[in-house]
Amino acid sequence: MLYFCNISRTKAQIKRKLIQKNIKHILSTPLSPQFDSNALHIKIPCMNSETLSLYITAEHDCGYYNDRQTSNLIPDPQIEIGANLYSLLISKGFRRSGEFVYRPHCKQCTACVPCRINVENFKASRNQRRCLKNNQDLTTRIVPARFKEEYFSLYAKYLNARHKGGNMADPIREDFCSFLLNNWEASVFIESRLNEKLLCVAVVDFLAAGPSAVYTFFDPNAHKRSLGTFAILQQIWLAKLYRKDSLYLGYWIDQHPKMAYKRNFSALETYQHNQWQAFEY
């Protein structure tokens, strides 16, 4: 039985969490989101306006460091975000949670650095080639992003093992929907199975700018398979298949244990000083 969650209501709940009186207008950035994605056979139209106002939220607890406060840069809440606009924003270092689009903008911290893989220059390491070989027995396919009890069961199992005692543990079905899904019709799940058993799901936004790795969850009992690495390698393959230049990986934080895996991938680029540049390993 499928479970349908109210995405619109979730979006409204997220917006209400912003303290409107503390949101300050800080800049207006010229944008010209014109893309022609032949691979997806979609003509993405221009915005009516050439500028997009950005706002900063009130400070709140940081999700990575217990002793820090964070705030986010967000697009004008009155503007409807869709896959075409998000594709432009992600190329400027933004990220999404559900339909909430943001970029960290902290007063005293610049630890969160947007990163992506230059697909053309990527070369798999020996360990990554071994990972692919070790998972040759899996069946992997691309399916529409949607809620299924099978997915939620694996998602909850993964979070309760990896984030025991944290704020992501013991999720409910609405958490799954509000975090991973949206109404943009640009997301897919890459699911991997051993025979019929679901082992791994990678949530991917397929955008004009390139695929964006939203989140990956997998069976924690299959840790020897390195399924997180396997999922990223599958997404690199997908980007190459559709001739996309980059795979977007979200944020990298130097010396943070949850982010250490990203530097294991060659051809990494980071977004600093308003431009993408090669990562210094």
d(CA 194, CA 198): 7
Is CATH 3.90.1150.10 correct for 117-278?
A: no
Look at residue 28 in the predicted model and tell me its pLDDT.
34
Half-sphere exposure of 99 (CA within 13 A, CB side): 21
**CA distance between the termini of the chain:** 47
Residue among 68, 94, 111 nearest 258 (CA): 111
Look at residue 22 in the predicted model and tell me its pLDDT.
32
Q: H helices of the chain, where?
A: 7-17, 83-90, 126-134, 149-162, 173-180, 227-241
pLDDT per position as a tens digit, 10-41: 333 333 333 233 333 333 333 333 322 222 22
pLDDT per position as a tens digit, 255-280: 888 888 999 999 999 999 889 999 98
Q: What's 257's DSSP letter?
A: T
73 neighbors 104 (Cβ within 8 angstroms) = yes
**How many helices and strands in the chain, by DSSP H and E?**
6, 17
Residue among 55, 47, 46 nearest 101 (CA): 55
Per-domain boundaries in the chain: 7-110, 117-278
